[in-house]
Structure 1
Amino acid sequence: MKKTIFTLIILVLSLSIFAEMPAVQVIQEKGKIDSLTIEYIKAFDEARFIYTLPASLFDKGDTIEKINQRVSLFTRENGYYFYNRIADDIIRYDNTKNLATYTATIKFK
């Protein structure tokens, strides 16, 4: 009995050591004052869109519009039919660097 349990534990540990994490493809698009980073995980059909710009220029409506345009383009480029947001969008302000960051997490289908 002890040998069987020990063998199972060794088997599970050896499989967990060699398990691979899904690859994250990072796409960066930089403008003059803003940047958009897309962290795309193809294995899960998910992407995180991170839009950064100076906090003084941040407008939530414009930011959502830009993210939606880029998500629609990304959906067509990668052969998906539609998408939905799987988490609430996150807005963060960095007062030391005077930046605003808007993050949207998207699931493609």
Structure 2
Amino acid sequence: MVDREKLTAFDTRRYPIRPHVGVGILLVRDKHLLLIKRKYDPDAGYWSIPGGHLDLGEDVEKAAEREGFEETGFKVKVTKLAGIIDKIMYDDNGKIEYHYVLLNYFVEQIERR
């Protein structure tokens, strides 16, 4: 049995005991959507909107703005909710390997790099 108290945040994403909450940003400029290449699983190596995890005690819109800056270096401001995604991924044995509730927001860039 794994001692969950000794696991890092990245370790506990797989085979969770409860869903993880994540935020994403949709930054559109000149009809182009900003995408990043995912560094970590799930979906490492694939293109995705920037985003990350909600920290304990953090407001979801502030989390989206923070993650937008951390992932892209752009300071952004949330303009509206784009949508909520319940993403559940199963392993080859049918066990839940990842479960995320993702809140995605449209943002505008407030400061250029």
TM interval, shorter chain, is 0.3 to 0.5
Q: Which has the larger radius of gyration?
A: 1
Which of the pair is proportionally richer in strand? 2
Higher RCO (Cα < 8 Å, 6 or more apart): 2
